[in-house]
Amino acid sequence: MTKSLTLVKLGGSVITEKAKVLTANIVAIRRLANEIAESRVRKLMIVHGGGSFGHPLAQQYAIQEGFTDPSQLIGINKTHHAMLQLNKIVVEALIHHNIPAFPVVPASCMISKDGRINIFATDTLRILLEMDLVPVLFGDVVLDTEKGFTIISGDQIIAAVATRFSAARIIMAVDVDGLFTDDPKTNTSAELLRRLTPQELRTFIINRTGKIEDAKILDVTGGMLGKVAELLLAVEAGIPTLIINAKKDNNLRMVLTTNETSGTLIAK
């Protein structure tokens, strides 16, 4: 059943105004919801990032570092609540376009160990997919057996879902055209990498950070290197991953409905 599953990651930089705290990009969210609706993809799961909702609060209270001070306890609540607000906006836009979106809270079905997903109760997701509902997850604060709590990114979540459900494909809808040789926002000579094998991706990451684990912490190369490092196990398991610029009209709809590729394709 899940072999036909499409996973879409809506980047926080696309669905929020990153320069304005707690501000959703309503126009972009509604446009993307419409593109998803027009694609008529049946087996679909969506994960979205935090952007200006989750990131500023997580940084303010150092949530990623784990429990070090009682003042963080209000911080994890503020961060989680902000993500629930953004998730509500995304889900409402999808429902408005007749997509049977169903919110799933990662904090309620995941426990991490030292920052990595360790326990993941997937039965709810499986039943939702069997009913042709569209689960919508998001980067969230989760309990951690080593740290007390931490942030699990939408990128780590989508990789975990992909491998557990043997998904057919992953589409990363972000704010750049794909994976570049350097940060295209600061280096106009950076070249877009149109296609990579998993081994080429692994080599690309290691050449720039020394090891995969460092890339998962550092978000460099146009903000994409950390994201694709999280997806490495999924692409090595044979799940094609396409990175596209979702700020461009109809890019998401096109890749959902046709065999055309736009951006960077990572596949065996």
Query: Is the pLDDT score of 2 beyond 80?
Result: no
* Integer Cα distance of 185 and 84 in angstroms: 30
Task: Give the pTM.
Answer: 0.94
When pLDDT is averaged across residues 255-264 and rounded to a whole number, the result is 86
Could you give all domains of the chain from N- to C-terminal order, each with its CATH number? 2-266 (3.40.1160.10)
- Give me the chain's average pLDDT, please: 92
Q: What is the mean pLDDT of residues 111-137?
A: 97
Task: Give the residue among 87, 81, 39 at the shortest CA–CA distance from 58.
Answer: 81
The pLDDT value given to residue 247: 96
Whether 14 has a pLDDT exceeding 70, the answer reads yes
Count of C-beta atoms within a 10 Å radius of residue 161: 24
Q: What are residue 152's DSSP bridge partners?
A: 140
Report which residue type is found at 257. T
pLDDT for residue 194: 94
Rounded percentage of the chain residues whose pLDDT exceeds 90: 82
221 falls in which pLDDT band (50, 70, 90)? very low
pLDDT in tens, 172-198: 999 999 999 888 878 889 899 999 999
pLDDT at 266: 95
Q: What is the distance of C-alpha 244 from the center of its chain?
A: 13
* pLDDT at residue 6 tops 70: yes
Give the pLDDT band (50/70/90) at residue 213.
Answer: confident
Q: What is the pLDDT of residue 210?
A: 75
At 217 the pLDDT is 61
Nearest 5°: the CA angle 210, 216, 221 is 75
Which residue did the predictor score with more confidence, 220 or 247?
A: 247
Q: How confident is the model at residue 216 (pLDDT cuts 50, 70, 90)?
A: low
Q: Is the pLDDT of residue 260 over 80?
A: no
